[in-house]
Amino acid sequence: MLGPAFQLTDGRVWCAMHADLPRCAWCDLPVVRTPASNDLPVCPTCSRTAVSSARVVRLVKDQLKQHMASLGLVVDRPTRISLVHWDAFGPWSPHVRSHELGRTSWTFVGDRVVDGPIVVEVLRNLPLPRFRHVLAHEFGHAALACSARSHRLSLRVQEGFAEATAVVHLQDSQRDVDRIVDDLLANPDPVYGAGLRLVLPAVERHGLATVLRALRAGDEQVLGTRPRAAG
């Protein structure tokens, strides 16, 4: 490449003359092929690992469940996972990468007891590393949902625990996730990023299972008062 160029953090280089093209929704690489009107722009690299089949969902889910069980985290309710189109989450923004890519819902009856299955929705065609992040994040929510007291936790703590669950899983998977973890830790969002930096030090100190038990009891003291610095 002889003219002006830019280099992404993963080492890929692209020509500056393509700066005005749509950017890949996941890695920022310019996308030469114009996507259909109802699709997100996605580069060939991210498309190659796009998760769109039930078979891959089951594979990643089983790997996640095994890893979480080894750490003492078990979701004791039936859980259904489905892939949904991006417009199910509302208007798309090119800055939506660290959250709003998945959703976990459940129904309470009586004294805040979960009734029926926990339903997890994840954006269809996410690149595999990012799909691992979102599914692990939603696993964190599902684990908290099994408690009658966790609904009293602040949104920052709930999302922070979910992100911490995802970081622990990604760091164990060792599958092209370094950039995602770095983005999560540096996320300036006052709920997701700040929540992760609040919860992760406690997880690193005590372990996911201990922090989960405390939060299920509605006890935030396990988090201490020193959040991790951003970046």
pLDDT tens by residue, 208-228: 999 999 998 888 889 986 667
CA distance 14 to 30: 8
Q: Is 93 exposed, middle or buried (0-12, 13-18, 19+ CB in 10 A)?
A: exposed
CA distance 200 to 162: 10
In terms of pTM, does the model score above 0.95? no
pLDDT at 95: 47
CA distance 113 to 115: 6
Among residues 71, 125, 98, the alpha carbon closest in space to that of 188 is found at 98
* Residues lower than pLDDT 70 in the chain: 1-3, 8-11, 34-38, 91-99, 109-114, 148, 174-176, 225-227, 229-231
Structure tokens at 133: 């992040």
Strands 113-123 and 79-84: parallel
Tokens 């009293």 sit on residue: 152
pLDDT at 219: 87
Calculate the alpha carbon distances from 167 to 3, 49, 150, 162 in Å.
38, 20, 21, 9
